[in-house]
């Protein structure tokens, strides 16, 4: 504790108080455009600080390429593995590792892991010819997705550089697919067929294997997102009336129907690190799909209503696909009336403020103390403000340079 306190005092005395930010509340909507000569785009991943967005862009012939977007560099084409198509589906917390799928020269789809230094790496298969990557751990070391085996069966996989591609099995049927992975890479979620050939959402761990998460009264379900610690799972399932509904699952509460925006259907794609905020798409009363955000206190809200002041006439947010760990940044796809096309978007909700550990809207002593008492601990948590897996100097400085904001 003495070491921690001394480190804290050294950091505090080293900071020039005039540099401490007092930035006000900020909200913004950024349309990300598309690649040169392309007609549209959609986003599927965002870094912890909202600075990097990944997804895919398509042209008039419905050929698509993976992109990585930054505010300073715009949309970067990540290329392919020698074929004509690619798409990015996830990004590490620091924005340095991108995962997705791309065609090789033989026209086969392969899961890839991309870095600026190494380019696009083919992650192989499970003995077959194709694979697709859907999610990546916070540090970029664990990749999950779908690959076929020698028998031509598609299976959920978990990949690491040291262990290669691991078949996660099924729930008694032939096939499965992984969509999401916890921050540390230990918990994987997706869908798998059971012995009755029904698709069921699953939660996988090395010790417990594949767990069937059930349905909402019907027979089918899929899991798409998982909280940082693996305890909260989101996705969609059918109810007794055969309608697809977004769900939020916990071990203690089971599968909770998150409702709709007035229509009959909804789908959850992403969840914040602490499991408290869920995003996706839902039908409104007119039958149009619209992006939503759900919280326990507020229920399901239409992002087009909440952030109407950021939208120009004729523009709308159709689907939210993921959310940053702290719940501040939301990405997806919508209609940009200014360009007349479907485009990826980045929504900065302005909350929580940078450095606001306890999420009360004010960066103050309580936030400093919360980081201080967690200093040196590992694990992805709210005190780990840059989501690098360790509560350290960088997190203390994040609080210090934003001290007083919102107070």
Domain of 401 in residue numbering reads as 1-25+353-407
Cβ neighbours for 385, distance < 8 A, ≥ 6 positions apart: 326, 354, 355, 357, 371, 394, 395, 398, 399
Query: How many domains does the chain fold into?
Result: 2
Contact 147, 190 (CB under 8 A): no
Collapsing DSSP to helix, strand or coil, 7 comes out as helix
> Alpha helix (H) ranges present in 120-171?
none
End-to-end CA distance of the chain: 29
Same domain assignment for residues 267 and 391: no
The residue count for the chain:
407
How far is it, in rounded angstroms, from Cα 75 to Cα 324?
19
What pTM did the predictor assign? Answer: 0.93
Same domain assignment for residues 294 and 343: yes
pLDDT value of position 25: 54
Q: What is the DSSP letter of 95?
A: S
Same domain assignment for residues 105 and 179: yes
Classify residue 225 as exposed, middle or buried by CB count within 10 Å of its CB (0-12, 13-18, 19+).
buried
Burial 13-48 (b: 16+ CB within 10 A, else e): eeeeeeeeeeeeeeeebbbbbbbeebbbbbbbbbbb
Nearest by Cα to 87 from 107, 106, 67, 70 = 67
Nearest by Cα to 171 from 144, 191, 147 = 191
Same domain assignment for residues 227 and 181: yes
Same domain assignment for residues 2 and 53: no
Find tokens 């980081």 and name the residue.
Answer: 371
Q: How confident is the model over 274-290, as pLDDT tens digits? A: 999 999 999 999 999 99
Contact 351, 328 (CB under 8 A): yes
Q: How confident is the model over 343-370, as pLDDT tens digits? A: 999 999 999 999 999 999 999 999 999 9
What angle do helix axes 365-373 and 2-14 make, rounded to 10 degrees? 140
Low-confidence ranges of the chain (pLDDT < 50): 1-24
The domain that holds 379 is classified in CATH as 1.10.1330.10
Same domain assignment for residues 362 and 373: yes
Q: Write the Ramachandran bin of 170: left for phi over 0, alpha for psi from -120 to 50, otherwise beta.
A: beta
Give the domain-ending residue among 331, 352, 373. Answer: 352
Give the domain-ending residue among 323, 352, 381. Answer: 352
The domain that holds 211 is classified in CATH as 2.120.10.30
How far is it, in rounded angstroms, from Cα 269 to Cα 343?
18
Collapsing DSSP to helix, strand or coil, 90 comes out as strand
- What are the distances in angstroms from CA 217 to CA 61, 67, 240, 244? 40, 39, 5, 11
Same domain assignment for residues 66 and 176: yes
């Amino acid at each position: 504790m003495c070491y921690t306190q001394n480190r804290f005092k050294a950091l505090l005395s080293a900071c020039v108080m005039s540099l401490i930010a007092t930035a006000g509340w900020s909200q913004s909507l950024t349309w990300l455009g598309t690649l040169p000569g392309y007609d549209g785009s959609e986003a599927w991943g965002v870094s912890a600080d909202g600075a990097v967005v990944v997804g895919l862009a398509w042209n008039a012939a419905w050929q698509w390429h993976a992109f990585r977007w930054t505010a300073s560099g715009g949309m970067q084409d990540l290329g392919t593995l020698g074929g004509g198509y690619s798409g990015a589906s996830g990004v590490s917390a620091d924005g340095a590792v991108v995962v997705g799928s791309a065609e090789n020269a033989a026209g086969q789809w392969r899961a890839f892991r991309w870095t600026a230094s190494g380019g696009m790496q083919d992650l192989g298969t499970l003995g077959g010819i194709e694979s697709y990557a859907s999610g990546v751990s916070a540090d970029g070391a664990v990749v999950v997705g779908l690959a076929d085996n020698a028998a031509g069966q598609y299976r959920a996989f978990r990949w690491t550089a040291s262990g290669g591609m691991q078949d996660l099995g099924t729930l008694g049927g032939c096939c499965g697919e992984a969509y999401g992975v916890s921050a540390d890479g230990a918990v994987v979620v997706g869908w798998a067929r059971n012995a009755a050939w029904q698709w069921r959402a699953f939660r996988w761990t090395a010790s417990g294997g594949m767990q069937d998460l059930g349905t909402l009264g019907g027979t089918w379900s899929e899991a798409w997102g998982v909280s940082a610690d693996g305890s909260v799972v989101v996705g969609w399932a059918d109810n007794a009336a055969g309608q697809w509904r977004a769900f939020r699952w916990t071990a203690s509460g089971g599968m909770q129907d998150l409702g709709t925006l007035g229509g009959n259907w909804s789908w959850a794609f992403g969840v914040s690190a602490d499991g408290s905020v869920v995003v996706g798409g839902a039908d409104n009363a007119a039958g149009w799909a619209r992006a939503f955000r759900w919280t326990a206190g507020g229920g399901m809200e239409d992002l087009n209503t909440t952030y109407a002041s950021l939208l120009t006439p004729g523009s709308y947010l159709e689907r939210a696909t993921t959310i940053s760990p702290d719940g501040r940044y939301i990405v997806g796809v919508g209609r940009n009336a200014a360009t007349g096309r479907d485009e990826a978007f980045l929504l900065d909700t302005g909350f929580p403020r940078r450095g606001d550990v306890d999420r009360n809207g004010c960066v103050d002593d309580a936030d400093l103390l919360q980081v201080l008492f967690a200093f040196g601990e590992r694990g992805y948590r709210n005190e780990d403000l840059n989501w690098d897996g360790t509560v350290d100097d960088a997190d203390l400085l994040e609080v210090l340079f934003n001290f007083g904001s919102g107070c």
